Amino acid sequence: MPTFITYASYSQSGAKGLVDKPADRTGVIKGLVEKAGGKFVAMYFTTGSNDVVLVTDVPDGTDAVALGMAVAATGSISKVETVRAFTPSEFKGIAEKAAKFSGAYTPPGR
């Protein structure tokens, strides 16, 4: 299964919910990922531009986006971004494919 990394930030109501009733959200998030047929890999709370970083393996990109959309629809997060992650071996294969296309594209104006 492909690996996805999701970055999320709590909305004001999401942060208020955590302050009003502090809880470890791991079980809730793990259950949601498993409901989508995926595997929960890791979740971290972070400082900076994102509050949460979630690592999951899910069947495909549509599942990863749908999970973020379902959570965003609750109003508990203010932003969510999901990106596909590649192992070094997978990325080497991508670079090998790119090498085959090298020179096949002509930039605009040339």
Structure confidence at residue 23 as a pLDDT band (50, 70, 90): very high
- Is 79 part of a structural domain of the chain? yes
- Is 107 part of a structural domain of the chain? no
* Residue-level pLDDT at 2: 96
The residue-averaged pLDDT of 29-57 equals: 96
Closest CA relative to residue 74, chosen from 25, 24, 22: 25
CB-count burial class (<10 Å; 0-12, 13-18, 19+) for 82:
buried
- The secondary structure of residue 51, as a DSSP letter, is S
User: From CA 11, how far away is CA 17, in angstroms rounded?
Assistant: 10
Count of domains observed in the chain: 1
Higher pLDDT: 110 or 59? It is: 59
User: From CA 11, how far away is CA 18, in angstroms rounded?
Assistant: 11
- Is 86 part of a structural domain of the chain? yes
Q: Which amino acid is residue 73, in one-letter code?
A: A
- Is 110 part of a structural domain of the chain? no
* Residue-level pLDDT at 56: 97
Structure confidence at residue 46 as a pLDDT band (50, 70, 90): very high
Identify the domain containing residue 56 by its residue range: 3-101
Structure confidence at residue 106 as a pLDDT band (50, 70, 90): confident
* Residue-level pLDDT at 1: 93
- Is 24 part of a structural domain of the chain? yes
User: From CA 107, how far away is CA 23, in angstroms rounded?
Assistant: 52
Helix (H) or strand (E) run with residue 43 in it: strand 39-45
Residue 100 burial (CB count, 10 A): 8
Q: Is the pLDDT of residue 105 over 90?
A: no
Domain containing residue 74: CATH number: 3.30.70.1060
- Is 41 part of a structural domain of the chain? yes
**What confidence tens digit (pLDDT) does each residue in 54-69 have?**
999 999 999 999 999 9
Structure confidence at residue 42 as a pLDDT band (50, 70, 90): very high
